Structure 1
Amino acid sequence: MNVLIVDDDQTNLIIMAAVVRRVDDAEPITYSNPLEAARWLDANEPDLILLDQMMPDMDGLALLQRIRQNKRLDTVPVVIVTADTSAETRIRALDEGCSDFLTKPIIIPEVQARLRNLLALRQSRALLRDRAALLAEEVQRVTAALQRQGEELVLRLSCAAEYRDPETGAHLERMSRYSRLIAEAAGYDADFCNDLLKAAPMHDIGKIGIPDLILLKPGRLSEAELPIMRQHAVIGHRILADSDVPLLRMAAEIALSHHEKFDGSGYPNRLSGAAIPVTGRIVAVADVFDALTSTRPYKRSWSLEAARAYIEQNRGTHFDPVFVDAFLSRWDKVCEIHHAHLDDHLTDLHPMDF
Structure 2
Amino acid sequence: MLENLKAVSVDDSEVNLFFIEAMAAKLGLSVVSFSDPLEALTYVRENDVDLIFVDYMMPNIDGITFIKEARKVHSDAPIVMITAVSDDNDVKMEALESGATEFLSKPVNGAEFTVRVKNLGALRSSQLLLANKALLLQEEVSKATEDIRQREYETLNVIGKTAEFKDPETGHHIQRVAHYCKIISSSIGASEEFQSIIFHSAPLHDLGKVGIADSILLKPGKLTDEEFDVMKSHTTIGYEILLNTKSPFLETGANIALTHHERFNGTGYPNGLTRENIPLEGRIVAIADVFDALTTRRPYKDPWPFQKALDLLESEKGKHFDPKLVDHFFKNLGSIQQIYDDLSDR
Query: TM-score by structure 1 length?
Result: 0.82
Between the aligned partners of 1:246 and 1:138, the Cα distance in structure 2 is: 24
Distance change (3 Å), C-alpha of 1:259 and 1:98 = farther
User: Hey, what does 2:218 align to over in structure 1?
Assistant: 216
Between the aligned partners of 2:131 and 2:272, the Cα distance in structure 1 is: 53
Distance change (3 Å), C-alpha of 1:100 and 1:277 = farther
**Superposition deviation, residue 242 in structure 1:** 5.0
1:30 partnered with 2:53: no
Q: Which runs of 5+ in 2 are unaligned?
A: none
**Superposition deviation, residue 121 in structure 1:** 2.6
1:79 partnered with 2:80: yes
What letter is aligned with 1:8? D
**Superposition deviation, residue 106 in structure 1:** 4.2
| Matched ranges for 1:1-354 at <5 A | 1-21=5-25, 26-69=29-72, 71=73, 73-84=74-85, 85-165=87-167, 167-190=169-192, 192-242=194-244, 246-344=248-346
Deviations 1:197-229 (CA, angstroms, capped at 9, x unpaired): 343222212211211222122223333233322
Distance change (3 Å), C-alpha of 1:100 and 1:257 = farther
Percent identity reads 40
Between the aligned partners of 1:164 and 1:42, the Cα distance in structure 2 is: 64
SS at match of 1:163: helix
Contact 2:170 2:296 in 1 (8 A): no
Deviations 1:72-92 (CA, angstroms, capped at 9, x unpaired): x23322222223354553454
Contact 2:52 2:78 in 1 (8 A): yes
Total equivalences in the alignment: 341
Q: Give the stretch that moved more between structures: 38-47 or 125-134.
A: 38-47
Query: TM-score by structure 2 length?
Result: 0.84
**Superposition deviation, residue 339 in structure 1:** 4.1
**Superposition deviation, residue 323 in structure 1:** 1.1
Contact 1:147 1:245 in 2 (8 A): no
Q: CA RMSD in A?
A: 2.9
Distance change (3 Å), C-alpha of 1:66 and 1:211 = same
Distance change (3 Å), C-alpha of 1:234 and 1:42 = same
